[in-house]
Structure 1
Amino acid sequence: MRNKATLINMISGLILQTFTILSGFILPKIILTCFGSEVNGLVSSLNQFLSYISLVEGGITGVVMANLYKPIVEKDEQKISAVMVTANLFFRKIGILFVAYSVGLSIAYPLLFKTEFNFAYVCSLTLILSIAVLIQYMFSITLKTLLNADKRAYAVNFTQTLIVICNVIFALISVWIYPSIHILKLISGILFILQPVIFGYIVKRDYRIDWSTDPEYSLIKSRWSGFAINLAAFIHGSTDITILTILTNLKTVSVYSVYGLVSNGIKALVQACLSGLSQTVGQAYAKKDWKELNQKLDLYEYVVFVLVFFIFTVTALLINPFILLYTRDVTDTNYNQPIFGILLIISEGLYLVKFPHLNLAYAANKFKEITVPAYIEALLNIVISVILVHKFGLVGVAVGTIVGMTYRMMFHVYYTSKIVPGRVQSIFYKKFCLFAISVAIGFMICSLVIPLRVVTVMNWVIHAILYCAVVGGCILLTSVLFFKKELTFFAKYLKR
């Protein structure tokens, strides 16, 4: 049943991300077409500043997840209740703080940053964009964490899929009846009420949570160590837009956000495919079964490499032609940035390949031990991006992200060898080098032999199929030659 749950989680996650990616392209296209690049850049920038509240969270979600694995395995309802009550109180406090932060941002942003919009326009839009985040902190994130820890991510994924579909439908109706960015985003925020309603029903039905249990604040004593992890993840996702907002203009932010639609969509798609595996590794560690843990880490690493190197190589080949098609009706700024597109894809790929090792550290509750490297990664990212953005613009911030990601990846591979007995770093680097060589050959074949010279929708689709076949063939050949053990184990795992 656990293996079936893992598979269902992966499928549901894939369904969610498919709809999220489609939504991610439809909604910005609506904004670009109806309201222009300046509004698109403003929305992206405001969302980024609103996400700063996640820093206050201090990585508590990961800490709560780590504290839930063992009592879930042992069916310790009292312990589960204590963790849930403690987490719920903490997130409610963040929600209250977020209200104050949102109001402050709505006043400060239009005063600090020059835009073509008046104070009331920016202020009201800021408050509207904050609704979705507020609902999650106040009412749904605790319940969501429990479901994810218990390998029931499918409930979360299907709920979110419903919200995404409704959001697109209502957005199209909204701009057809009365095109207003404020109304469009207000509808989007209100839809998030579905999360606590559905999650609450499932938890009440399937769990015996005693909400009157006294909180145990010692359960989240690792949160300040978790803060560093949260900070690093936050900086990875926010440094570029923040620096571009401060040092460039909203149209440049819009260009970045449009390319980010592709990179973030592909990243989320891969994460969805991997969603069931992280909890499997976490529960294997909780049982201290080192043989099983090593086997599942081998499988986890292999699946990550196959997905990341295949999907991201094809994306690197196709991202710039896609953006040119996507923005062909938008003429208020230059969206043709091929070098930046490839570098952005590389940075997101490096972010993902460390996931087996990062999630193992989370499951082992080693937040304190991985704090300093998280700060170093964040510092590298910020400093290099700020230095290079003046001369290289978008390319400069992408390079800063790549340097930070490379350092963090290498550290986590090293730290896994300290957590798991008998685990050596060369296991990871052998896979990395073999897959890198494989996709490099595929990339060169595609670029030199079958280049996409004339950018049309039909040409793009044809080349996408050809590129998938070439890169996929290279990866399949590498798997058959060098990773027979992982292929066999993966087949047995799915059968069970």
Structure 2
Amino acid sequence: MRTRYTLINMLVNIGGQFFTMLLSFINRMVFIHCLSAAYLGVNGLFTDVLSILNFAELGIGTAMVFSMYEPAARDDEQKLARLMNLYKWMYRAVAASVLLFGLVLLPFLPYLIKGGEGIEHITLIYMIYVLGSASSYLLNYKSSIYQAYQKGYIRAGWNMVCEFIKTVLQIAILLLTGNFILYLVVQQAVQFLPNIMVSRRVDKEFPYLKECRELPDREERNGILKNIGAMSMHKLAIVIVRNTDSLLMSSFIGLTTVGLYSNYRLVINALNNLMTKVVTAFSGSVGNFAALENSDRLYQVYKEMDFLFFVLSGYLTGGLMMLFNSLIALLFGEEYCFPMAIVVFIVTEFYITRMRQTNLLFREVMGLFWNDRYKAVAESVINLVVSLVLVQRYGVTGIVGGTIISTLCTCTWIEPYIFLKYGVREDWQQKYRAYFAEYLKRLLLTAAVSAAAVLWVQRFPVDNFCIFILDGLLYTAVFAGVIVLFYRGSAEYAALKQRGLELLKRNKEYT
């Protein structure tokens, strides 16, 4: 059953993400055609500002979903209902906090924007973002019960439908009126629809949630609050590391650079979301597995997933190194491209971040938030200090370089240490050394493939989408060959191959 739910979640999530990526690129192309780069910068800047305000969420969602895996695995309806009640009240407090913090930040807007003098109604635009972000918390918590029951595909399906509606309406508004404010109103209004639809379905499917008015007992609440306290530190790190880049660029360089950077972030975020969808497809099953199985079996699953995410991360990294600027030029124009040196830093940061994915997944489903809470503080401080120092001399490269340095100094070695020491426990030192030996091998392999791909595209430049697709297919074949050559004898390769063959066999039986 776990494999079946994982497969359904993955197909819906990945299919939905590809669909969303296509819509996002079309939307961005129309946006650039109808509005200036300054508006593009405002969109990227305020999106990051709202991500900072969302620090008020404190990681509540992650901690609550972890608390729900065990009662969901055992069909403990009363415990689930009490947890959902606590979740509801917490998210209402978050909505109020986001609105309050947004209003407090309002007088400081002029200091955050450099080169935005031509943007009209900047305060109104900002408040639309704030209201949309605050309202998203009012019903969002209800979808967590599907995550606990390994049915995240239900929420993903509604997201896909509403994303299509939103994009069509936004494109129509841009083409007919060119009005950025109407564009934002549609964005904020339509993104609330999945919450409404999922909420109504949850009320029908789980009627006992409305019948129970109780909260978890004091001991359980204290355990949850402890996890939330630890997650708040991780949330702070995410906010500072991932969402201050646009603020620094806007303050030190200008809105036009933020606009250029936002196109690269559009692609990176699309791929990050794609990888997150894959992780989300596994998270319910892994959480269920972690609640019921022993650490030896869990470690084997961990190794298989770590290999899978390496293959995906390495493949995307080499492809971005090879074709990133070509994609930006074909979609938006060569004037929107960064120099290759900046692109290398952006893609390197992408690879390092994606290679953390397995450790983060297992940390969350096993509730190991508390053990590495100080890592998040160190990561935040290092990132902010290094970025502020480097941006003055190196610009965009310095900001992204700050993220790379802070990640390497903290997350890269602390996260596997926490999982192996506190999650696996047995022979964890030996497994820790083996992890980094394999990590270095994978890094060198990805770097070699990426360098070869860059040399190829420099020798044979991409002039149109046909060449782009052919180069992508060639790269895919070469990368697949490299993986088979170097890993065909590994246990993880054999296990994933076997799982894939079993899934294909099942699909044939069903058809």
TM-score (norm: length of structure 2):
0.90
User: Could you say if the C-alpha distance between residues 244 and 449 of structure 1 is closer, same or farther in structure 2, counting changes exceeding 3 Å?
Assistant: closer
Residue 183 of structure 1: aligned partner: 182
Aligned-pair CA distance for 1:73: 0.8
Residue 138 of structure 2: aligned partner: 138
Opposite residue 487 of structure 1, the aligned amino acid is L
The 5 Å alignment of 1:417-436 reads 417-418=420-421, 419-422=423-426, 423=428, 424-436=431-443
Matched, 1:479 2:487: yes
Are the aligned partners of 2:5 and 2:285 in contact in 1 as well (CA < 8 Å)? Answer: no
Q: Which moved more, 1:163-172 or 1:356-365?
A: 356-365
Are the aligned partners of 2:70 and 2:288 in contact in 1 as well (CA < 8 Å)? Answer: yes
Aligned-pair CA distance for 1:97: 2.2
Aligned-pair CA distance for 1:94: 1.3
Q: Could you say what secondary structure the match of 2:400 adopts?
A: helix
Opposite residue 154 of structure 1, the aligned amino acid is Y
Aligned-pair CA distance for 1:12: 0.9
Are the aligned partners of 1:128 and 1:186 in contact in 2 as well (CA < 8 Å)? Answer: yes
Are the aligned partners of 2:322 and 2:454 in contact in 1 as well (CA < 8 Å)? Answer: yes
Residue 90 of structure 2: aligned partner: 90
Opposite residue 309 of structure 2, the aligned amino acid is V
Are the aligned partners of 2:82 and 2:214 in contact in 1 as well (CA < 8 Å)? Answer: yes
Residue 173 of structure 2: aligned partner: 174
Gaps of 5+ in 2: 507-511
Residue 509 of structure 2: aligned partner: none
Residue 322 of structure 2: aligned partner: 317
Q: Deviations over 1:365-400 (max 9, x none)?
A: 222211001111112211111111111111111111
Are the aligned partners of 1:110 and 1:118 in contact in 2 as well (CA < 8 Å)? Answer: no
Matched, 1:490 2:493: no
Q: Which moved more, 1:182-191 or 1:145-154?
A: 145-154
Matched, 1:457 2:465: yes
Aligned-pair CA distance for 1:252: 1.1
User: Could you say if the C-alpha distance between residues 43 and 488 of structure 1 is closer, same or farther in structure 2, counting changes exceeding 3 Å?
Assistant: closer
Are the aligned partners of 1:350 and 1:402 in contact in 2 as well (CA < 8 Å)? Answer: yes
Are the aligned partners of 1:13 and 1:272 in contact in 2 as well (CA < 8 Å)? Answer: yes
2: distance between equivalents of 1:416 and 1:235? 24
Residue 204 of structure 2: aligned partner: 205
2: distance between equivalents of 1:323 and 1:362? 35
Are the aligned partners of 2:309 and 2:355 in contact in 1 as well (CA < 8 Å)? Answer: yes
2: distance between equivalents of 1:120 and 1:101? 23
Opposite residue 417 of structure 1, the aligned amino acid is L
1: distance between equivalents of 2:66 and 2:10? 20
User: Could you say if the C-alpha distance between residues 415 and 112 of structure 1 is closer, same or farther in structure 2, counting changes exceeding 3 Å?
Assistant: closer
2: distance between equivalents of 1:111 and 1:83? 42
Are the aligned partners of 2:371 and 2:418 in contact in 1 as well (CA < 8 Å)? Answer: no
Q: How many residues align?
A: 492
Aligned-pair CA distance for 1:401: 1.0
Opposite residue 87 of structure 2, the aligned amino acid is A
Q: Could you say what secondary structure the match of 1:215 adopts?
A: coil
2: distance between equivalents of 1:112 and 1:336? 23
1: distance between equivalents of 2:75 and 2:416? 32
Residue 11 of structure 2: aligned partner: 11
Q: Which moved more, 1:352-361 or 1:301-310?
A: 352-361
Aligned-pair CA distance for 1:171: 1.2
Aligned-pair CA distance for 1:173: 1.3
The root-mean-square deviation of aligned C-alpha atoms, in Å, is: 2.2
The 5 Å alignment of 1:45-124 reads 45-110=45-110, 113-117=113-117, 121-124=121-124
Q: Which moved more, 1:105-114 or 1:263-272?
A: 105-114
2: distance between equivalents of 1:283 and 1:427? 27
TM-score (norm: length of structure 1):
0.93
Aligned-pair CA distance for 1:464: 1.7
Q: Could you say what secondary structure the match of 1:224 adopts?
A: helix
User: Could you say if the C-alpha distance between residues 271 and 288 of structure 1 is closer, same or farther in structure 2, counting changes exceeding 3 Å?
Assistant: same
Percent of residue pairs bearing the same amino acid type = 20
Residue 415 of structure 2: aligned partner: 412
Opposite residue 18 of structure 1, the aligned amino acid is F
Aligned-pair CA distance for 1:119: 8.3
Are the aligned partners of 2:163 and 2:191 in contact in 1 as well (CA < 8 Å)? Answer: no
The 5 Å alignment of 1:132-281 reads 132-140=132-140, 142-207=141-206, 208-210=208-210, 212-216=212-216, 217-218=221-222, 219-281=224-286
Q: Deviations over 1:106-149 (max 9, x none)?
A: 45314653444478610111122234322321122x11222222
Are the aligned partners of 2:82 and 2:212 in contact in 1 as well (CA < 8 Å)? Answer: no
Q: Deviations over 1:332-367 (max 9, x none)?
A: xx6332121121111122112122212222222222
1: distance between equivalents of 2:398 and 2:52? 22
Residue 359 of structure 2: aligned partner: 357
1: distance between equivalents of 2:482 and 2:90? 49
User: Could you say if the C-alpha distance between residues 491 and 469 of structure 1 is closer, same or farther in structure 2, counting changes exceeding 3 Å?
Assistant: closer
Matched, 1:395 2:415: no
Are the aligned partners of 1:45 and 1:245 in contact in 2 as well (CA < 8 Å)? Answer: yes
2: distance between equivalents of 1:427 and 1:283? 27
Q: Which moved more, 1:439-448 or 1:199-208?
A: 439-448
Q: Which moved more, 1:350-359 or 1:202-211?
A: 202-211
Q: Which moved more, 1:144-153 or 1:368-377?
A: 144-153
Runs of 4+ in 1 over 6 A off after TM superposition: none
Q: Could you say what secondary structure the match of 1:401 adopts?
A: helix
2: distance between equivalents of 1:376 and 1:280? 32
Residue 27 of structure 1: aligned partner: 27
Q: Which moved more, 1:255-264 or 1:124-133?
A: 124-133
Q: Could you say what secondary structure the match of 1:69 adopts?
A: helix
Q: Could you say what secondary structure the match of 2:447 adopts?
A: helix
Q: Which moved more, 1:228-237 or 1:435-444?
A: 435-444
1: distance between equivalents of 2:136 and 2:239? 17
Q: Which moved more, 1:211-220 or 1:407-416?
A: 211-220
Q: Could you say what secondary structure the match of 1:321 adopts?
A: helix
Are the aligned partners of 1:82 and 1:214 in contact in 2 as well (CA < 8 Å)? Answer: yes
Aligned-pair CA distance for 1:2: 2.4
2: distance between equivalents of 1:111 and 1:222? 35
2: distance between equivalents of 1:308 and 1:51? 24
Are the aligned partners of 2:114 and 2:255 in contact in 1 as well (CA < 8 Å)? Answer: no
1: distance between equivalents of 2:377 and 2:299? 28
User: Could you say if the C-alpha distance between residues 91 and 369 of structure 1 is closer, same or farther in structure 2, counting changes exceeding 3 Å?
Assistant: same
2: distance between equivalents of 1:326 and 1:146? 39
Aligned-pair CA distance for 1:169: 0.7
Q: Could you say what secondary structure the match of 2:337 adopts?
A: coil
Matched, 1:448 2:455: yes
User: Could you say if the C-alpha distance between residues 119 and 306 of structure 1 is closer, same or farther in structure 2, counting changes exceeding 3 Å?
Assistant: closer
Aligned-pair CA distance for 1:95: 0.9
User: Could you say if the C-alpha distance between residues 180 and 459 of structure 1 is closer, same or farther in structure 2, counting changes exceeding 3 Å?
Assistant: same
Are the aligned partners of 2:329 and 2:337 in contact in 1 as well (CA < 8 Å)? Answer: yes
Q: Deviations over 1:394-417 (max 9, x none)?
A: 111111111222230211111122
